A and B are shown apart, each in its own frame.
Chain A
Amino acid sequence: MATRRVPLVLLACGSFNPITNQHMRLFELARDHMNGTGQYQVVGGIVSPVSDSYGKQGLVLAKHRIAMAKLALQSSSWITVDEWESQQPDWTETVVTLRHYYGRILKEHERSTGMHNNSSGRAALLASPSPQLKLLCGADFLSTFKVPDLWRDDHVEELVRRFGLVCISRGRLQPEQAVHESDTLSHHRHNIFLVREWVRNEISATEVRRALRRGLSVKYLIPDSVIEYIHQHNLYTEDSERRNEGNVLRPLTKQAQEPV
């Protein structure tokens, strides 16, 4: 039986405050790795900037973060920016975002296979494997599971069981350790893909913002088009960094409320 590759879409959630070359590298590294397993064919990448209600310190308006991400990814043939999450009235749990995009991907897949197949759904399934959506993240993301009240247990379970993670190691962090230390993660380790980044490239958005505040160059760390945008709109000043100062991150207050 010929095994056909599973079409795979990678979703990256985050502040993208601003988007950097490092963010975009994550996609490239993940695509190479997943294609390299022989089981997957990466067909798309989605950058999903978090909504303003996330409440993180220094977060500039979503419209700017979206615009910058679009500029940065203009020339990418497979990665797009999606505004859905940023347009939601409240901060959206990662799993909810995943469910939304997965729903879209499935519909799209059904539509395109429906075009080629007059027979039943079962035949269509055999002809073309169902696409998957996995969350793309850095290794530091794994350790957030340990932060009290930040994640719901059932969400972590759904994240790794139903979707899966592609996790790029950064600096000295050991993602294997985080997987090992969690029963849930460990149980679904076959669905957690750890990608080793051999080039230590620690372009953090925090550092980029710091440099911008101090009038230092960030050229070659973020695309030129994004630098231009930042200067045009005078983003990332001392004032912008103080935004949300003292606020509690929205996820920490929301989790106490209604189940999703």
Chain B
Amino acid sequence: MEGQSRTKVVLLACGSFNPVTNMHLRMFELARDHLEDTGQYRVVKGIISPVGDGYKKKGLIEACHRLEMARLATENSDWIIVDSWESLQPEWVETNKVVRHHYDELAAEQNDDDVDTVKYSKKRRINKQVYCFEGSSHQKRRGCPQLMLLCGADVLESFGQPNLWKQEDINEIVSFYGLVCVTRSGSDPHKFIQQSDTLWKYRRNIHIVHEWVTNEISATHVRRALRRSQSVRYLLPDTVVHHQAEEVMGWGCELKTNQTHFKN
């Protein structure tokens, strides 16, 4: 594998983003630094995919607002974008289906870019083994970026919760795609991987990123602060604070009482 140029990577983060916070955005930055630091990867895009309203989580405000806030938050980013596909689906979509959808999209984009398909497909057949990473059966079209799911350690640990994930979905994510897991304080993802045969088998496809700044800006806390008319400045990008968070979160939050407009 020596001499191979870096693998292009796209990071996909699924979640409520209710609302998006600086912590979410930090996750992308940390993941990119980590992957590029290995010398093997070049992160070319980050995708925020807010969950659809069909998820029906308590306190989840409408997707249109969550999308808009995420867009405002990524206005000043040159590599992170927001994708609305998942949020537009009528029913909740399993994570691996979302990943699959984005993978297909990336592959389709790549097809449009491919010029010399005949020549390269021949080369691909001969060199198929070269594209396989150790322990991974990742099938890669020439030049197609590798799509990895970006998440916090809590998602990794949710793999262990009974009935939450289908085993074959977990397998697909860690074997075919890849996982980048940013640790929050108080969790030990390495131990968790150790204790799972599946995760252990594909450990090289699971990248654990240690957060050197403890940064626990939870969206739950942000919503709570907004309900109590407390400041959330500097927890979210200014663009979000100014335009959306107060009005939107104030109206659509957990307590459906008659509330006056929140002043910050």
Residue ID in chain A nearest B222 by CB atoms: A199
CA distance A48 to B33 in the complex (A): 33
Chain B residues touching A, majority SS: loop
Residue ID in chain A nearest B217 by CB atoms: A199
Q: Contact between B238 and A75 (Cβ–Cβ < 8 Å)?
A: yes
Question: What 1/0 mask marks residues of chain A from 27 to 41 whose CB sits below 8 Å from any chain B CB?
Answer: 011011000000000
Q: Contact between B233 and A24 (Cβ–Cβ < 8 Å)?
A: yes
Using known A-B contacts A203-B213, A224-B76, determine if residue A28 contacts B231 with beta carbons closer than 8 Å: yes
- CB contacts (< 8 Å) of B212 on chain A: these are 207, 210-211
Question: What 1/0 mask marks residues of chain B from 176 to 193 whose CB sits below 8 Å from any chain A CB?
Answer: 000000000100000000
Determine which of A29, A31, A75, A207 lies in contact with B213 in the assembled complex, contact meaning CB atoms within 8 Å: A207
Confirm or deny: B50 has a beta carbon within 8 angstroms of a beta carbon on chain A.
Answer: no
Determine which of A75, A210, A220 lies in contact with B22 in the assembled complex, contact meaning CB atoms within 8 Å: A220
CA distance A199 to B231 in the complex (A): 12
A216-244 with Cβ < 8 A to chain B: 216-217, 219-221, 224
CA distance A221 to B29 in the complex (A): 11
Using known A-B contacts A219-B25, A224-B76, determine if residue A25 contacts B234 with beta carbons closer than 8 Å: yes
Q: Contact between A217 and B30 (Cβ–Cβ < 8 Å)?
A: yes
Interface residue count on the A side (C-beta < 8 Å) = 26
- CB contacts (< 8 Å) of B217 on chain A: these are 199, 201
- CB contacts (< 8 Å) of A211 on chain B: these are 212
CA distance A168 to B46 in the complex (A): 35
Q: Contact between A202 and B215 (Cβ–Cβ < 8 Å)?
A: yes
Using known A-B contacts A199-B217, A202-B214, determine if residue A220 contacts B25 with beta carbons closer than 8 Å: yes
- CB contacts (< 8 Å) of B215 on chain A: these are 200-203
Confirm or deny: B244 has a beta carbon within 8 angstroms of a beta carbon on chain A.
Answer: no
Question: What 1/0 mask marks residues of chain B from 221 to 264 whose CB sits below 8 Å from any chain A CB?
Answer: 10000000011011101100000000000000000000000000
Whole-angstrom distance between the Cβ of A76 and the nearest chain B Cβ: 8
Confirm or deny: B216 has a beta carbon within 8 angstroms of a beta carbon on chain A.
Answer: yes
CA distance A177 to B33 in the complex (A): 39
Confirm or deny: B26 has a beta carbon within 8 angstroms of a beta carbon on chain A.
Answer: yes
Determine which of A24, A31, A207 lies in contact with B234 in the assembled complex, contact meaning CB atoms within 8 Å: A24
Using known A-B contacts A25-B235, A201-B216, determine if residue A220 contacts B29 with beta carbons closer than 8 Å: yes
- CB contacts (< 8 Å) of A198 on chain B: these are 221
Select the residue from A75, A207, A217 with max chain B CB neighbours within 10 A.
A217
Confirm or deny: B95 has a beta carbon within 8 angstroms of a beta carbon on chain A.
Answer: no
Confirm or deny: B218 has a beta carbon within 8 angstroms of a beta carbon on chain A.
Answer: yes
B20-36 with Cβ < 8 A to chain A: 22, 25-26, 29-30, 32-33
Whole-angstrom distance between the Cβ of B187 and the nearest chain A Cβ: 14
Residue ID in chain A nearest B212 by CB atoms: A207
Whole-angstrom distance between the Cβ of A170 and the nearest chain B Cβ: 10
- CB contacts (< 8 Å) of B218 on chain A: these are 199
- CB contacts (< 8 Å) of B221 on chain A: these are 198-199
- CB contacts (< 8 Å) of B216 on chain A: these are 199-201
Residue ID in chain B nearest A198 by CB atoms: B221
Residue ID in chain A nearest B27 by CB atoms: A220
CA distance A29 to B235 in the complex (A): 11
CA distance A75 to B221 in the complex (A): 24
- CB contacts (< 8 Å) of B29 on chain A: these are 217, 219-220
Q: Contact between B231 and A32 (Cβ–Cβ < 8 Å)?
A: yes
Question: What 1/0 mask marks residues of chain A from 178 to 220 whose CB sits below 8 Å from any chain B CB?
Answer: 0000000000000000000011111110010011000011011
Residue ID in chain B nearest A33 by CB atoms: B230
CA distance A200 to B211 in the complex (A): 13
A residues lining the B interface (CB < 8 Å)? 21-22, 24-25, 28-29, 31-32, 75, 171, 198-204, 207, 210-211, 216-217, 219-221, 224
Nearest 9 Cβ contacts at the A-B interface = A28-B231, A217-B29, A21-B234, A220-B22, A202-B214, A200-B216, A220-B25, A25-B234, A24-B234
A-B contact pairs, 21 of them (CB 8 A): A21-B235, A22-B234, A24-B234, A28-B233, A29-B231, A32-B230, A171-B214, A199-B235, A200-B185, A200-B215, A201-B215, A201-B235, A202-B213, A202-B215, A203-B213, A217-B29, A219-B29, A219-B77, A220-B22, A220-B25, A221-B213
B residues lining the A interface (CB < 8 Å)? 22, 25-26, 29-30, 32-33, 76-77, 185, 212-218, 221, 230-231, 233-235, 237-238
